[in-house]
Amino acid sequence: MTAPLRRALTAPSFAAVLLGGALLGSLLLEAGCRRAPDAHPSAAAGNAAPGPTAPADTARPEAAMLDSGTVVLPDSQQRALVKNDSLWQKALRVHYRAIVFDGHADTPTLMAEEGYDIGPRHAPAEAHLDLPRMKTGGLDAVFFSIYVPSYLGEGRRAGARARRLIRVTKRQLRQYAGRAAFATSAGEVRRLARNGKRAVLLGLEGGHALAASEDTLRAFAQRGIRYVTLTHIRSHSWADAATDTLRHGGLSEKGEALVRAMNDAGVLADLSHVSDSTFYDALRVSRAPVILSHSSARALTPNARNVTDDMLRALSENDGLVMINFYDRYVQQDTTPALEDVLDHIDHAAQVAGVEHVGLGSDFDGVPRLPAGLGDATRLPWLTHGLLKRGYTEEDVYKILGGNALRVLEAAEEAATKPG
């Protein structure tokens, strides 16, 4: 979301994040997991020992979702986890073989406004994501949010802000070229992941920065933007937001034209933050799959930023993707938010929309609080363990962790080769 949110943190309000970091080597969160109703029986069997590497088998259909497979957790920690629950053998192998792809992190705002450096390792209380912790957590690829506050409007200031964040991001990636690189396609993500590098893609958060101009959209696409979040918290001249007055009843005619222009440019339409009517208008107009880069399930946590079951079913028909947000406000149910709540939202979306339409959209570095046990990027393997414990198959987990994100990115690329 915003750097001011980060600065507003207090020690008590950030307790969940600190707890998540402190629990990195712990053996908690093993109880209370539920099996999905249609779970594959073999998915809960921990029958493969972790190793330093697990090369991708290109003969298997899920090979396109796999990387070099290096397990980077310390041996002592691996042994402790497996001793507590043998399923961790499989979880470690699956997680570090998967191409893990996060749909939304607000790290560029910290980089531009607070001089944050993604090269060294930071504590969870400072930020949720950096290159060392991406490696530890097995996070291969991430969409960095080029966040433009709504108060900047649709004029020059909004565009200037977006261009600045793009420059700052690319500058740091050049600085750490041995560990990470800028990516604009699914193929580049796969190549970088298999070479042990982190892939960073760019999403423009706030369609008002386009100034209602298809030329501006194309210019941002040339700079590497690969999704546009149609609105942020405010409605604007061509689309309605979920958290503001409805001005158009969805998309205006110009908004529909801009979504089509996104299809032509190979840019995904991101429907996080938009009103329900904008959501349905975008699905009607788009000939490519759409995404929600950081939203969760409204059936579990009533919030305008989350999606209804009807929306999830419509997303499935579009072949799109909802990437589950970790923010405690969007996943909290009846108790203090914890990692299990995030798993509940993944599970619910998978049951309603289908496992092929669910991914991860952490909102790292954009929210003031995360659930206990999921305090930063190093905790991502615990999601894999939780999914396997609930009965998801290896192939299903590969899809959720990153395979589905690669699919929709490729679909956007293909749509751009067939203009409407």
Active site residue: 62, 67, 356, 363, which one?
363
Active site residue: 106, 154, 347, 365, which one?
106
Distance CA 67, CA 179 (A): 15
Active site residue 205: yes
Active site residue 357: no
Active site residue: 67, 95, 102, 104, which one?
104
Distance CA 402, CA 198 (A): 13
- Look at residues 310, 308, 381 and name the one whose alpha carbon lies nearest to residue 339: 381
Active site residue: 130, 205, 270, 328, which one?
205
Active site residue: 128, 294, 357, 385, which one?
294
Burial 161-182 (b: 16+ CB within 10 A, else e): bbeebbebbbebbeebeebbbb
Query: Radius of gyration (Cα) for the chain, nearest Å?
Result: 20
Distance CA 15, CA 11 (A): 6
Active site residue 270: no
Check if the beta carbon of residue 409 is closer than 8 Å to that of residue 101: no
Active site residue: 95, 128, 232, 248, which one?
232
For residue 134, what is the enclosing H or E element?
helix 131-136
Distance CA 382, CA 65 (A): 19
Check if the beta carbon of residue 20 is closer than 8 Å to that of residue 372: yes
Check if the beta carbon of residue 172 is closer than 8 Å to that of residue 220: no
Burial 73-108 (b: 16+ CB within 10 A, else e): beeeebeebbeebebbbbbbbbbbbbbbbbbbbbbb
Active site residue: 208, 273, 348, 385, which one?
273
Active site residue 104: yes
Distance CA 186, CA 168 (A): 23
Rounded-to-10 torsion of CA 86, 88, 91, 96: -130
Active site residue 208: no
- What is the DSSP secondary structure assignment for residue 403, as one 8-state letter? I
User: Any idea which residues carry the catalytic annotation?
Assistant: 104, 106, 205, 232, 273, 294, 363
